[in-house]
Amino acid sequence: MHISEGILSGPVLLSSAVLTASGVAIGLRKMQVHKIPEVAVLTSAFFVISLVHIPVGPASAHLILNGLVGLLMGWMAFPSIFVAITLQALLFQFGGFTTLGANTLTMAVPAVAVYYLFNPLIKRGNNYIALAAAFAAGVCGILFACLLLTTCLFLTTKEFYTVAKVMFIGHTPIMVIEGIVTTFCVSFLRKVKPEILVING
């Protein structure tokens, strides 16, 4: 779900870069020393998971895991996703350097939204509520990212409808898979290391 160079208009690129810079600054301020190794591990996972492709009909889509990253890191998802997307652009030519702001924004804003929506339920709710919230977090991470990407395209060109439709259809199975993966991860972490789910956002 990377936006390539030359697609978005100048104002959209500039405003998304400014918003991303603000998000990264907030994320770095909120990053406590003991959380940095966890952020590094989750950033590595986010960086690697984009190479896991899942066939969807004649095409294929890749996992993103921004829902899980948001649940576990809150605002710290911004610097994490920014670093991972920069390295993806540098090493694999995914997206581009001028669209780093837009690409980070479309992934990190859903992550932060997911954190505020579902982290309290996972922390305080019983096991069933926590697992349902984890599944919803995985689904919503991708859903919100699709919506943001559609907004970016809408602000650039009015001929976005077909692209948006293809993107939503192509990512529907990914939403379900990410929901399942997030549920398993949260279930495991609640048993093994529940303190990782408690963060200061």
Partner 1 sequence: MIAINVRVFHVYAILTTALSLLPVSYVQAHAVHYDVLQRGISAKISYTASDPVNYAEYELFGPGDTLPHQTGRTDKNGFVCFFPNRTGIWVIKVRGESTHGLHGATIEVKVDDALNLKSFNKPFVETLSATLIKLFVGISLIIGMFGAYLILKTKKTQRFLANKNRNGEKE
Least Å from the CB of residue 53 to partner 1:
7
If one asks whether residue 31 binds partner 1 (CB under 8 A), the answer comes out as yes
If one asks whether residue 39 binds partner 1 (CB under 8 A), the answer comes out as yes
If one asks whether residue 2 binds partner 1 (CB under 8 A), the answer comes out as yes
**Residue with Cβ nearer partner 1 (49 or 143):** 49
Question: Which residue is it, tokens 């939503």?
Answer: 168
- The identity of residue 100, as a single letter, is L
Provide the angle, in degrees to the nearest 10, between the axes of the packed helices 10-30 and 77-92. Answer: 130
CA distances in angstroms from 131 to 59, 80, 135, 144, listed in the order given? 30, 24, 6, 20
Least Å from the CB of residue 146 to partner 1:
14
Report the alpha-carbon distance of residue 165 to residue 105 in Å, rounded.
Answer: 21
Check: CB of residue 107 under 8 Å from CB of residue 50.
Answer: no
Write the interaction track for partner 1 spanning residues 92-131; mark x where CB under 8 A is met and - where it is not: xxxxx-----------------------------------
If one asks whether residue 172 binds partner 1 (CB under 8 A), the answer comes out as no
If one asks whether residue 58 binds partner 1 (CB under 8 A), the answer comes out as no
If one asks whether residue 55 binds partner 1 (CB under 8 A), the answer comes out as no
